[in-house]
Amino acid sequence: QQQVKQSPQSLIVQKGGISIINCAYENTAFDYFPWYQQFPGKGPALLIAIRPDVSEKKEGRFTISFNKSAKQFSLHIMDSQPGDSATYFCAVSSGSARQLTFGSGTQLTVLP
């Protein structure tokens, strides 16, 4: 059973546009929702994270929107840049099982 479902698998956006990646989860015990960015040949890097007591968190051009009742959260990249082209992974974890469970990833391409 897939614990977190991520979509879309790939995304192409024009420079300056908004990139939106979605994740859905099943287990209501999850209480930590990070997004990771991975460039080819590199390990994933933490981008931004949210806990379920807030509905939105913004850091620069990156925003997480969280819908607890729908068990969904999404990453919004405003004013997307070619340098944002990478693979993005959502993840979930809980206080009792702290290992991160990752989504399948979204390959983002921002066209110049």
Partner 1 sequence: GAGVSQSPSNKVTEKGKDVELRCDPISGHTALYWYRQSLGQGLEFLIYFQGNSAPDKSGLPSDRFSAERTGGSVSTLTIQRTQQEDSAVYLCASSPRSREAFFGQGTRLTVV
Q: DSSP code of 53?
A: T
Site for partner 1 in 86-105 (CB under 8 A): 89, 93, 97-105
Q: Looking at 42, 70, 83, 112, which residue binds partner 1 (CB under 8 A)?
A: 42
Phi, psi of 108 (to 5 degrees): -100, 130
Residue in 89, 86, 83, 82 with CA at minimum distance from that of residue 103: 89
Distance, in Å, from the CA atom of 86 to the CA atom of 37, rounded to the nearest integer, reads 7
Q: Looking at 1, 43, 53, 70, which residue binds partner 1 (CB under 8 A)?
A: 43
Kindly tell me which of 62 and 103 has the beta carbon lying closer to partner 1: 103
Judged by the rule CB under 8 A, the positions of this chain that interact with partner 1 are 32, 34, 36, 41-46, 49, 89, 93, 97-105
